[in-house]
Amino acid sequence: MRVLLEDSEEMFRVTNCRSDMTVRELKEELDLMAGIPFNLQRLQFLDQGISMDDAPLKFYGVVPGGIISLCVWHYDGWMDLVLAAVEGDSSKLSFLGVTEDSFYQTANSQRFNNQQWKTWVSQRAFVALYIASHRGHVEVVQYLLEHGASCRGRTPVGRTPLHVAAAMGQLDCISLLLNHGASINARDAKGETPMSVARRLSGSQSERRMFLFYWMMKLGTKGLTDPTMNKGFQRVKTGFGSKKESKK
Residue 22 DSSP label = B
The pair phi, psi for residue 106, each rounded to 5°, is -125, 170
Mean pLDDT by groups of 10 residues along the chain of 248 residues: 94 88 95 96 86 92 88 93 97 95 93 95 98 98 97 97 94 92 93 92 77 73 51 49 40
> Is 82 within a domain?
no
Domain count, the chain: 1
201, 199, 226: which is closest to 213 by C-alpha? Answer: 226
> Is 16 within a domain?
yes
pLDDT of residue 17: 84
> Is 48 within a domain?
yes
> Is 1 within a domain?
yes
> Is 198 within a domain?
no
Supply the range of the domain harboring residue 14.
1-73
> Is 68 within a domain?
yes
pLDDT of residue 163: 96
> Is 182 within a domain?
no
CATH of the domain at 16: 3.10.20.90
150-185 per-residue burial string, b: 16 or more CB within 10 A, e: under 16: bbebbbebbbbbbbbbbbbbbbbbbbbbbebebbbe
**Beta-carbon count within 10 A of 113 CB:** 7
User: Looking at beta carbons, which pairs linking 77-83 to residues 24 or more positions away fall under 8 Å?
Assistant: 77/104, 77/106, 78/40, 78/127, 79/7, 81/124, 81/127, 81/128, 82/7, 82/8, 82/36, 82/40, 82/127, 82/131, 83/7, 83/8
> Is 239 within a domain?
no
Element at 213 (helix H, strand E): helix 204-219
Alpha carbon distance 227, 208 (integer Å):
18
Strand partners, 4: 11, 69
The alpha carbon of residue 105 and the mean position of all alpha carbons in its chain are separated, in whole angstroms, by 24
